[in-house]
Chains A and B, each alone.
Chain A
Amino acid sequence: AQSVAQPEDQVNVAEGNPLTVKCTYSVSGNPYLFWYVQYPNRGLQFLLKYITGDNLVKGSYGFEAEFNKSQTSFHLKKPSALVSDSALYFCALIAGNNRKLIWGLGTSLAVNP
């Protein structure tokens, strides 16, 4: 069965430090993977996606994610966190020919000044 897991409900990081928000997946076939961010009282915003090609994907606001097929992971990263990055982050998966978008439960990122 297809699934997406975000193993951490909350991540805390100091401003200026690198941040990582984890996502792992289970799928038969090739995955399409997405990251979205939700700021308070707002809808989700698209950050980046992986479909094929280079395993390192660059997205909006300085974020990037690395697709790792052997570890079935798609972790979101940023070299230097900002307080304004504090938000809820969602990983999502489309699995092969399955026309269904599967969402992780979200990870709350808190960047402390």
Chain B
Amino acid sequence: EAQVTQNPRYLITVTGKKLTVTCSQNMNHEYMSWYRQDPGLGLRQIYYSMNVEVTDKGDVPEGYKVSRKEKRNFPLILESPSPNQTSLYFCASSQGFGQPQHFGDGTRLSIL
């Protein structure tokens, strides 16, 4: 089954404790992206990757890092999380930019 898998689905943690949200897709997609969803603000792109070893900033990259060492994986790293990063996070992938995106089921992060 074609899917984008995010882990964990839920996480409560404390300020400053490094965390990684993993994202994996099994569709051999070139394009991958991370979004955060906040009430009243809709979806905002954090980072995206056009292909392996190619990443670029989205609209709200501050406080986040990503890497794309393999085509299937696109982890999101919060080196020093802060409460303003409490949000619902989505990973998405597509065959290329402009193609329909497949989304994971989301990761709800709470940073205390």
Contacts and interface: CB of A to CB of B under 8 A. Distances in A.
Q: Do A and B come from one complex?
A: yes
Interface of A: 32, 34, 36, 41-46, 49, 90, 94, 99, 101, 103-106
Given A94-B98, A99-B97, A45 B45 contact: no
B106 A32 contact: no
Interface of B: 4, 40-45, 90, 92, 97-98, 100-106
Contact of B42 (A34, A42, A105): A105
9 contacts: A32-B98, A36-B101, A43-B106, A44-B43, A44-B92, A44-B103, A46-B101, A104-B42, A105-B41
A98 to B, nearest CB: 11
A44 B42 CA distance: 12
Contacts of B106: 41-43
Contacts of B45: 101
A4 to B, nearest CB: 9
Given A44-B90, A45-B103, A103-B43, 12 more contacts: A41-B105, A42-B106, A43-B4, A43-B104, A46-B100, A49-B100, A99-B97, A101-B98, A103-B42, A105-B40, A105-B41, A106-B42
